[in-house]
Amino acid sequence: MTKMCPSTTQETTMSIAYLLDQVLDLLNDGRWHSEGEISRITHLPPQETGAILAFLSKFKVIENDEKVPRARISPLTEEHWHKL
């Protein structure tokens, strides 16, 4: 089994945090954004955008519209976002 060096693990964690922050900053306006728009603005491949949105949705940070692939920040997250 290959061990990852600490700097690689730390860099990966920071990259994920940066991507989550980018998506949340975009969704912070409370409007619906299509997955395509989110991918385009954040420069993420659609598959990665979908994975990030699924993660945020799982923890109720965002709302997804199942009929149309789009997302927005959840009301509870929006309420507390500025306190972070």
pLDDT of residue 82: 67
SS (H, E, C) the chain: CCCCCHHHHHHHHHHHHHHHHHHHHHHCCCCCEEHHHHHHHHCCCHHHHHHHHHHHHHCCCEEEECCCCEEEECHHHHHHHCCC
Strand partners, 64: 71
Structure tokens at 53: 């949105």
Neighbours of 50 (CB within 10 A): 17
CA–CA distance, 64 with 45 (Å, rounded to integer): 18
Write down the architecture of domain 22-81 according to CATH: Orthogonal Bundle (1.10)
pLDDT per residue, tens digit, the chain (84 aa), is: 445 555 566 666 668 889 999 999 999 999 999 999 999 999 999 999 999 999 999 999 999 998 989 999 999 888 887 666
